[in-house]
């Protein structure tokens, strides 16, 4: 009888865990590869503009890679990582350039924080 109760408890806990699972949609895009583009500060004219280059690898909904940003005075270059849900790319690292970008085909656009806030446009490099 104890074995049956033990299994019953495990089944109930598994059901509760499944009910708490994320409702985020799975990725519909794979952003692995090299991306190049520009950023323009939303705090003009003092904010400036510059170039961005990202080389990333996506595994499931997580991605990570290297970020190179030029033209800014708060340079967030280095490690970058985040998550993909649907066609939305969330930048979690670096803290100085977090934000959300939308992928349509081989283009990624959106807003990031840091660097006084910026509009970003990137294109996939073959």
Beta-carbon-side half-sphere exposure of residue 22 (alpha carbons within 13 Å): 5
Identify the DSSP state of 27. B
Domain that holds residue 113: 33-125
Rounded to two decimals, what is the model's pTM? 0.77
The answer to the question of residue 27 being in a domain is no
Note the pLDDT of residue 17: 42
Query: Burial code of 68-98, b = ≥16 C-beta within 10 A, e = fewer?
Result: ebeebeebbbeebebbbbebbbbbeebebbb
Of all residues in the chain, what percent carry a pLDDT higher than 70?
77
Q: CATH number, domain at 115?
A: 2.40.128.120
The answer to the question of residue 79 being in a domain is yes
Residues 13-44: pLDDT tens digits?
444 444 445 588 899 999 999 999 999 988 76
Answer positive or negative: Cα dihedral of 102, 26, 97, 36.
Answer: negative
Note the pLDDT of residue 12: 38
Task: Indicate if the pLDDT at residue 7 is higher than 50.
Answer: no
Residues 69-78: pLDDT tens digits?
998 767 889 9
């Amino acid at each position: 009888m104890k074995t049956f109760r033990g299994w019953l408890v495990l089944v109930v806990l598994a059901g509760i865990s499944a009910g708490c699972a994320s409702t985020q949609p799975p990725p519909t895009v794979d952003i692995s590869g090299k991306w190049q583009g520009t950023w323009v500060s939303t705090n003009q004219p003092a904010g400036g503009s510059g170039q961005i280059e990202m080389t990333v690898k996506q595994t499931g909904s997580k991605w990570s890679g290297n970020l190179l940003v030029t033209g800014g005075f708060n340079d967030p270059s280095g490690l970058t990582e985040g998550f993909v849900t649907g066609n939305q790319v969330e930048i979690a690292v670096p803290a100085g350039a977090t934000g959300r970008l939308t992928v349509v085909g081989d283009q990624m656009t959106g807003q990031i924080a840091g660097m006084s806030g910026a509009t970003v446009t990137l294109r996939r490099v073959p």
